[in-house]
Amino acid sequence: MKVIPRVVATFCLAASMVSPASAQTSGVEIYKSKCVLCHGDAGLGDTSVGKAMKAASYKDPAVVKATDAELTAVVKNGKGNMAAFGKTLTDAQIKAVIAYVRTLQK
């Protein structure tokens, strides 16, 4: 049913706005507040919300092969069911969270 992903996406977006981006400095902190709900601690997209939203696993070959510029565009603009974070995260914060995501791919 299409309504459930929209409700979950709205919830994820609202949850991401609870803690101000300016207070978050490290990729780990940003990941824990903005990404873990859907992508999970290990980045596998295997949380209940992640499964409902069909969140990508960071170990998926397409994600592993994606350039940092491509991942930056996804984080900024959103993709599929993923919310856009371009208005809530700075470029430096997006760079930091992508660097952290890369560590989860190993």
> What would be the CATH architecture of the domain defined by 3-104?
Orthogonal Bundle (1.10)
pLDDT of res. 25: 77
Which parts of the chain register pLDDT below 70?
1-24
Neighbours of 96 (CB within 10 A): 20
The DSSP code for 8 is: H
Written as one string, the DSSP assignment of 37-78 is: HHH-TTSS--SHHHHHHTPPPTTSHHHHHS-HHHHHHHHHH-
pLDDT of res. 81: 94
